[in-house]
Each structure stands twice: as C-alpha cells, then as structure tokens.
C-alpha cells in the first residue's frame, strides 16, 4: 500500500507561503491547519504554511516524507447528528528542524509574503531563558527564536513598516500574546538591540491573545489498521479531533480581512476583549465538567457520555448550566445559551470516552478556579446560593472519602489536600455533628480556597445538609432533592 504524498494524492495543491508555524503536533494540525485548509478552498486566502519544529526532536521528518499532507478525522455531534468524516489537509508546504538547519528558518522570514506567525509550543514554551543569545542557532526558547527571526526580518527589509507580522500564539495560558510580547522585549533588552528595532516590533507587529477550543485525541493507535484499510493509503500522521471548534482572537478587526475565517464559515471571533469568552469557557465547559464529576461518579457512572444518557444526571447538568452558571455571565443570553447547547452536544459525543476520574484529578483546585467564582457571583447577584453547585461541592467532599459504595477510588491531588481529607474522614462516626465538622474544616481551608468560605451566609449549613443526605441515603436518593425528578424506583 502506498504512502500518502503529493504523488499519490493528486488533488493536493501548493500555496504561496503566508504562515510560519511553530509546532507540528496534533492540535495545530487538527485546529489551525484545518482552518487554513478551509480558507484556501472556500475563500481567496491562498496561503501555504511552513512548519518549524520548536524542539530538537519531533515529527518534521515524517511530515516532510508525506510532503506536508496528512488525514484529519473529525467525529462528534454536528447539526444534532453523530458525524464521522475525514479529509486530506494540504496547506503545509514543508517543515523545518531549526536544530538541523537554522539558516533555512531564517530564510523563511525573507519572504515578503509571509504575514502570520502561529505557535503552540505547550504552556512551558512561552518562557524566558536567560542564557539564550542572538548568536545561537537556534535559541533554546520559542520567544528567543521569535526575537531572532523578527530581528532578521527587520534587517532584511530595513525596518519597513508593512513587513511586520500578525502573531497568534495558541498556547493554553491566559493572555498568551501579551506574555509572549513581554518576553520578546526582554530579549531585545538583554541582547542590547537598537531602539529602532524595538519600535518596529511594537508598531509594525500585532501580538494577539487567543483562546482555542477543540478536543483533539491525536493519532488513533488502537484503530490505525482499520483506518488504513478504509483510506487505501498509509498515513503516519493521521489525527483525530471533535467536530466542535472555537478560536477567539483578541485584536483589531482588520485581522478578519487578512485572515478570512468568517468567509469560510469558521467559528472564529476577532474581539476587542477576549476575557468574557475565556470566562464563558472556564465556567460553562470546565465548570460543568468539574461540578458534574463527583455527582455523576458517586451516582454510579464512569464517563461524561454515560452521565448525559441518564435522565437524572443529564437534567442536573443542564439545569446547573442554564439556571446557575449562565446567570452569572455578562455576554448576551442567546450567545451563552448557544455555547451551552454546543457544550452539551460535546458531552454527548459518542466517539469520545471521557472518564470522570480523569476529570477528577486535582478537583479541589479545579473547583476553586472553575466553580467557586460562579457560586460567589450567583450569591452576590441573587442573595441566594446555587443549590446544584452547592450540592456538587458536598459531593466533592464525599468523593474525597475515597470510596464509591465498597469500591476504593484512586484519587489524585496535592499531598496537603489528600492529607486533609484523610485526617477528616478517618474519624468519621456517622454523626451529623462530625459531618458539620468536616464541612466547616474544608470550607475554612484557605490554603486551597484563598479565603474562608464559611463567611458566605448559609453555605456551611447547605453543604452540611446535602452531605448528610449523600452519606445516609446515597447519591441516587440525595440528588432527588436537587433535581426534583422522580427516579421511578
């Protein structure tokens, strides 16, 4: 069977290079490159990509063997139906390993048509390495490499104002564009580069903060033989992702003219402030995941999909999102409801087994960042406590007992959290007074919450009430008091 390349895939095209991309991994190929591919096919973008390997060892050799081609499978809920589809992505022209051929990377920046720099070098990629030098080939850090490339570009075109870049980092850190720019400016100072270059970086280049969202499960090792038979060719770079995608870019509106994602029907938003969108994602998607996990797991379910199939737990999740989370957010209500509906569709994806125990990792800190702001905001706006969210907090404390019925739960969290719960539950005697002591101690644990939650009026009483019901009656009975749905048995 032949390998995928531009000889075996006659439909492929090559485009003028407009994008330099740092990162050849699964996410960028299933997210950014897929979007560029759609723009090439459905708009006049006409842009090719050169991919630079950000670390010494990676997939560039495989990418070049396949001449930039690979197959993307998207599977999930689309238009309320389970859809699995695939396409060959052909927007990548070639890849570069700068550790083997640094001069080739410099040459890319000499192309006057190059306009965009996109990256995903992991959260640890946007860091300052004080030992990086301009003379290195290459620098160790991504920001160091970027600064050197910007300087080469500046000198190649004599500081021309129209030869700057739109820089779109996709690393999963808050305010990624701002942090990247800050480090570039530190290197300019460290390397004693001229003021004119610093002014060119600031005035002719646009560093955007971004928010990216698509689940990418990567190379399908377990089913690659069946996929190869289905495709009729060998592809060592097959990548699998979900149907849903969202890219929020904080930057000037003219970016949409140069990077016409909207014309290709893509879910990309160029906005003045991405903060509400990040808050929406964290509170609705991540917050619902964290809040549902202890409830659904103690209910007897193992995956997010299972939780959406059960009438009671699905109702709990839906009403948690629509009745308690959405009222705390400030985007237009219809936009929030549309996003929430898309989140619920993603939870129902039949092609993804998302295990609740994997979400349960470090649940205490996750509840603090994802759910506690909703609880506090809801109380501040309504004067009442969000019952489902408080119930999930009670379930979380019950989860850290470490048992589901007689089954041991393999929980993972910071040592101080595990030690706290071990000391609290080991002396549990079944009494309501002891449950109140456990609840009070957990809520007052400022090392996790960064404040004493017992000062929130009524919270200690409600968490205690729900935890007593969970302990004495079990989750399937206790949840009835929150969902108001009869279990029918």
Task: Tell me phi and psi for residue 249, to 5 degrees.
Answer: -115, 120
Q: Pick the closest to residue 221 from 26, 4, 357, 68 (CA basis).
A: 26
Q: What is the DSSP letter of 4?
A: P
23 is in an annotated binding site: yes
Longest dimension (CA), the chain: 78
Q: Please state whether the peptide bond connecting residue 61 to the residue before it is cis, i.e. omega within 30 degrees of 0.
A: no
Helix (H) / strand (E) element for 169: namely strand 166-169
Cross-strand bridge partners of residue 74: 85, 241
430 is in an annotated binding site: no
Separation CA 245–CA 238 (nearest Å):
18
Query: Is 134 annotated as contributing to ligand binding?
Result: no
Is position 29 annotated in a ligand binding site?
Answer: yes
Crossing angle for the helix pair 287-299 and 363-370, nearest 10 degrees?
Answer: 130
Q: Tell me, what DSSP letter sits at residue 110?
A: T
Q: Please check if 26 is assigned to a binding site.
A: yes
DSSP assigned state of 89: E
Please tell me the distance from the alpha carbon of residue 441 to that of residue 399, in angstroms, as a whole number: 16
Is 24 one of the annotated binding-site residues? yes
Q: Quote the DSSP letter at residue 331.
A: S
Say if residue 185 carries a ligand binding annotation: no
Angstrom distance (rounded) from CA 354 to CA 283: 19
Residues in contact with 465: Cβ distance below 8 Å, sequence separation at least 6, in sequence order: none
Q: Does 25 appear as a known binding residue?
A: yes
Distance CA 87, CA 79 (A): 19
Q: Specify the DSSP element, H or E, that contains 336.
A: helix 333-347
Q: Is the dihedral of CA 465, 470, 473, 475 positive or negative?
A: positive
β-pairing verdict for 116-119 and 17-22: parallel
Strands 48-52 and 17-22: parallel
The dihedral over CA atoms of 46, 50, 51, 57, expressed in degrees to the nearest 10, equals 160
CA neighbor of 210 nearest in space, from 168, 268, 258: 168
Residue 33 annotated as binding?
no
Which segments are annotated as binding site? 19-30
Which segments are annotated as binding site for NAD(+)? 19-30
């Amino acid at each position: 069977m032949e390998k995928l390349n531009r000889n075996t895939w006659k439909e492929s095209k090559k485009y003028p290079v407009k994008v330099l991309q740092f990162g050849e991994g699964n996410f960028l190929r299933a997210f950014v490159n897929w979007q560029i591919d759609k723009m090439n096919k459905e708009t006049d973008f006409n842009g090719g990509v050169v991919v630079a390997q950000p670390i010494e060892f990676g997939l560039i050799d495989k990418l070049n063997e396949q001449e930039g081609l690979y197959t993307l499978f998207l599977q999930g809920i689309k238009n309320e139906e389970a859809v699995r589809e695939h396409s060959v992505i052909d927007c990548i022209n070639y890849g570069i390993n700068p550790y083997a051929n640094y001069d080739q990377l410099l040459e890319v920046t000499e192309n006057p048509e190059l306009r965009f720099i996109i990256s995903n070098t992991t959260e640890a990629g946007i860091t300052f390495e004080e030992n990086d030098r301009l003379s290195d080939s290459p620098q160790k850090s991504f920001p160091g490499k970027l600064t050197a490339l910007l300087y080469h570009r500046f000198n190649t075109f004599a500081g021309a104002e129209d030869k700057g870049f739109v820089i779109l980092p996709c690393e999963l850190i808050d305010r990624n564009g701002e942090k990247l720019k800050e480090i570039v400016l530190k290197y300019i100072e460290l390397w004693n580069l001229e003021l004119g270059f610093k002014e060119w970086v600031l005035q002719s280049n646009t560093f955007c903060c971004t928010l990216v969202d698509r689940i990418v499960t990567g190379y399908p090792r377990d089913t690659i033989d069946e996929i190869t038979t289905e495709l009729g060719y060998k592809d060592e770079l097959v990548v699998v992702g979900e149907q849903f995608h969202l890219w929020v870019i904080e930057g000037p509106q003219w970016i949409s003219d140069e990077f016409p994602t909207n014309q290709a029907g893509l879910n990309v938003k160029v906005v003045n402030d991405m903060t509400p969108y990040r808050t929406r994602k964290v509170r609705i998607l991540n917050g619902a995941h964290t809040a549902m996990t202890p409830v659904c797991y103690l209910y007897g379910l193992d995956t997010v999909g299972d939780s959406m199939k059960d009438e009671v737990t699905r109702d709990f999740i839906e009403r948690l999102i629509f009745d308690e989370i959405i009222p705390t957010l400030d985007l237009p209500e219809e936009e929030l409801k549309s996003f929430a509906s898309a989140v619920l569709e993603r939870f129902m994806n039949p092609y993804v087994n998302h295990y609740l125990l994997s979400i349960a990792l470090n649940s205490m800190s996750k509840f603090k960042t994802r759910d506690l702001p909703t609880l506090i905001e809801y109380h501040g706006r309504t004067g009442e406590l969000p019952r489902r969210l408080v119930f999930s907090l009670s379930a979380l404390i019950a989860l850290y007992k470490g048992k589901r019925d007689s089954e041991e739960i393999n929980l993972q969290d910071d040592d101080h959290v595990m030690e706290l719960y071990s000391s609290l539950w080991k002396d549990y005697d079944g009494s309501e007074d002891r449950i109140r002591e456990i609840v009070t101690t957990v809520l007052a644990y400022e090392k996790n919450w960064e404040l004493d939650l017992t000062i929130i009026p009524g919270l200690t009483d409600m968490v205690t009430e729900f935890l007593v019901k969970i302990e004495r009656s079990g989750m399937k009975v206790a949840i009835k008091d929150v969902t108001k749905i009869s279990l029918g048995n």
